Structure 1
């Protein structure tokens, strides 16, 4: 059987009536979308996910339909989804158009700012027929998020290191920058022209961050001797798991809590005289 004929047969099967199957069959095209589906109680509806979808643990054995940018159309058709969730701003438009041309029901979910996580939960809940669960998950997220918000005071200059070699960070186009701002911080590379700019150590030195966050466990190594950076001089270098800041899903709340704790510590240290004994900033 030729490739074209095989695809035609799969498409025919997809469009045939699904008798006796009432539950949604969902495929997600980015890891955070699988997390959002699970957050509204829809993990059992997932039949396929994108590569690197590893949370919550129960989805790890699901078929992978590709990475975040290229997908196996034949496998997707074989899984017979009733809903495909695409990543707004991430899934290439060409891939979305290709899937829609196969008459697959593709919905785009976009999260650019922290409050949009709750909006995504509500939307996915509606799409899965779990509107109440989506609303409850969204409200719980919003309540915890609002409790963390910092609205006053001089912003803390923050550098977020995505990778150390080469040295990459994130601009204001990424939701991680919104997390920093939410906590009363200022992303020192917020104005970069691309979402994930490569920067130099000299540029970081010139930005003089008061807080340096990094995504890999060894991310502080390039900075330990650079005491000219306020964050290094004040020992404000901290690891935050990458998934807590780079995936625009429910676990952004964990990242926000951690970032807010560190920003708060920097603010507290500002009020302590320079010649104070060690530990006074922590209330010791």
Structure 2
């Protein structure tokens, strides 16, 4: 008998949720008034594009400066951990999620007839523009999205090399012996900065193992390290102090890119490209 009562309670809860005013979601073309974002990347675009009063919640990662380039704008905005019950309490008319958001959460929200828009992580520059445009459209702020894309493109043009000469080589290298190869957003940023991704030229795809020995032999012009938060400068220094890299440091430029700048495909990616372009210019000046 207790088990039967529990089943009835769960069923009743689901029915009540379906009857909530926001359950039907916002129709296409409307300007949603209560937006919940469950994903770090959609968090940042919401914070860039939307008035605070229309943001019901963002994920806890969107407010963390280690991962979010616009964490400062998140102060005072409620945070969530991607759980369905958190969303139901907020009763949004639009939910933004990523393709890695909990499948159970997304499925339940859709069963309850909430409007859920999922975004896949972009892997190249055109996909970044498309994602900004898509999010701006569903938020009902298309003009703001186009303005953001124009600003993004202006910064990319400023970072691009002036001519079609030889590109200095670069490797994105992490402390656990991983290099970033072809097919990743970071690879696209390296190319946009006028550098040649040596790991991609070696045939590596995505994050792939690359031994220190191979790195030293490859002798990239620029060594790119990712900043992973508060301890990142010490992490980067520790990596550079490895005996296998000491003599490489003498003839290699080092660029440190905060993880928050290129984890997601938003306008902040242009800042990562600008930092890499400065390293390229330093190499070209020395070789000039």
Contact residue 210 and residue 229 of structure 1 kept, 8 A: no
Tell me how far apart the structure 1 counterparts of residues 43 and 130 of structure 2 sit (CA, whole Å). Answer: 15
Name the structure 2 match of 1:179. Answer: 189
Name the structure 2 match of 1:63. Answer: 78
1:107 and 2:136 aligned: no
1:261 and 2:278 aligned: yes
Change (3 A) 1:170 1:48: farther
SS in 1 for 2:60: coil
Name the structure 1 match of 2:233. Answer: 217
Tell me how far apart the structure 2 counterparts of residues 123 and 208 of structure 1 sit (CA, whole Å). Answer: 41
Structure 1 position 262, deviation (Å): 0.5
Name the structure 1 match of 2:47. Answer: 38
* 1:185-224 to 2 correspondences below 5 Å: 185-190=195-200, 191-193=203-205, 195-214=206-225, 215=227, 216-218=232-234, 219-224=236-241
Contact residue 148 and residue 257 of structure 1 kept, 8 A: yes
Name the structure 2 match of 1:158. Answer: 170
Contact residue 10 and residue 74 of structure 1 kept, 8 A: no
Change (3 A) 1:156 1:101: farther
* 1:1-284 to 2 correspondences below 5 Å: 2-3=9-10, 5-13=12-20, 14-15=22-23, 23-54=32-63, 55-66=70-81, 71-88=82-99, 90-91=100-101, 96-110=106-120, 111-150=122-161, 152-161=164-173, 163-164=174-175, 166-190=176-200, 191-193=203-205, 195-214=206-225, 215=227, 216-218=232-234, 219-224=236-241, 225-226=243-244, 230=248, 232-271=249-288
Contact residue 39 and residue 59 of structure 2 kept, 8 A: yes
Contact residue 170 and residue 196 of structure 1 kept, 8 A: yes
State the superposition RMSD in angstroms: 2.9
Tell me how far apart the structure 2 counterparts of residues 96 and 196 of structure 1 sit (CA, whole Å). Answer: 28
What are structure 1's unaligned runs of at least 5 residues?
272-284
Count of aligned pairs:
260
Change (3 A) 1:116 1:7: same
Tell me how far apart the structure 2 counterparts of residues 100 and 17 of structure 1 sit (CA, whole Å). Answer: 10
Name the structure 1 match of 2:67. Answer: none
Tell me how far apart the structure 2 counterparts of residues 189 and 29 of structure 1 sit (CA, whole Å). Answer: 33
Which protein has the bigger helix share? 2
SS in 2 for 1:53: helix
Q: For residues 69-99 of structure 1, what are the alpha-carbon distances to aligned partners after superposition, in whole Å with 9 as ceiling and x for unaligned?
A: xx311111221121122235x4466654444
Contact residue 171 and residue 196 of structure 1 kept, 8 A: yes
Q: Return 78-87 or 110-119, whichever deviates more.
A: 110-119
Change (3 A) 1:104 1:262: same
The structure showing larger relative contact order (alpha-carbon pairs under 8 Å, at least 6 residues apart) is 2
